[in-house]
Amino acid sequence: TITLTTTIYRWIPSIIKFLQNKGYFKTYYTITDEIETETKDLRHVIVIGYGPVGKTISKILLQKQINVTVIEMNIDTVKKIKLQNIKELRAIYGDASQREILIISAIETAEAIVISTPFAPAKEITEIAKSLNSRIKILVHTTYSKSAKELRKQDSNLIIRSGEGSVALALAKEVFTIYGSTNFEEDIDKIYKELL
């Protein structure tokens, strides 16, 4: 019994997550009972994580009049977003790897989903997102080029940028500019594809 209990206990989180992804448990993580139904008919971009990268992406999108729905695990951050009272910016508190959270974010009408934090389980989120909206574009931020390569093997249609790769290529672009290269954008794109 002791041996079995230990083994079963270790697998419980994985089993629960699997069942939740299949729709057996309905767990909503919104601040209030109100589900953001006004998002349902809007074309928008879902941004997962509202750290420095997510915040910057959201700001850029909003400046271009693109509606943004943020999914964030920090309740205080969600409250701060809601206090801004920006009509085009919505925030949902929850785990983006949960099917119900993506449904609440109105993924069916979303144009793209940006996984802005390298700590999010990109593989799980990608699988669920594609099952709910087959035409959605998925953009992923990773810290390391190695993680980017692994995700690329899983799905060649993902748009992936690693912190390592992006910094290296941004610096290379500046060097190309110094040398007067005219086709550096094409060179950089080719190099990035080789890296992944």
What is the mean pLDDT of the segment spanning 39-46? 72
Q: Is the pLDDT of residue 118 over 90?
A: no
Question: Would you state the structure tokens that stand for residue 84, as one six-digit string?
Answer: 């801004």
pLDDT tens readout for residues 131-184: 999 999 999 988 877 777 777 777 777 888 787 777 777 777 787 778 776 666
**Which value, to the nearest 10 degrees, does the dihedral of the CA atoms of residues 127, 150, 159, 72 take?**
60
What is the mean pLDDT of the segment spanning 68-78? 95
> CA–CA separation, 163 vs 193, rounded Å?
15
Helix (H) or strand (E) holding 137: strand 137-142
> CA–CA separation, 127 vs 80, rounded Å?
30
Angle between helices 145-154 and 122-132 in degrees, nearest 10: 30
User: Which range (9-13, 45-49, 154-158) has the least confidence?
Assistant: 9-13
What residues does 45 pair with on adjacent strands? Answer: 68, 112
Question: Would you state the structure tokens that stand for residue 32, as one six-digit string?
Answer: 């209030």
Per DSSP, the residues of 36-93 read: -GGGTTS-EEEEE--SHHHHHHHHHHHHTT-EEEEEES-HHHHHHHHHH--TTEEEEE
> CA–CA separation, 123 vs 120, rounded Å?
9
Whole-prediction pTM value? 0.71
What is residue 138's predicted lDDT score, i.e. its pLDDT?
93
Per-residue pLDDT band at 29 (split at 50, 70, 90):
very low
> CA–CA separation, 118 vs 1, rounded Å?
39
Instruction: Choose between 191 and 30: higher pLDDT.
Output: 191
Instruction: Choose between 122 and 23: higher pLDDT.
Output: 122
pLDDT tens readout for residues 77-111: 999 999 999 999 999 999 999 999 999 999 999 99
Q: Residue 176 CB: number of other CB atoms within 10 A?
A: 17
> CA–CA separation, 91 vs 85, rounded Å?
10
What is the mean pLDDT of the segment spanning 63-72? 94
Instruction: Choose between 112 and 193: higher pLDDT.
Output: 112
Q: Is the pLDDT of residue 24 over 60?
A: yes
Q: Is the pLDDT of residue 38 over 60?
A: no
Instruction: Choose between 158 and 53: higher pLDDT.
Output: 53
> CA–CA separation, 170 vs 175, rounded Å?
9
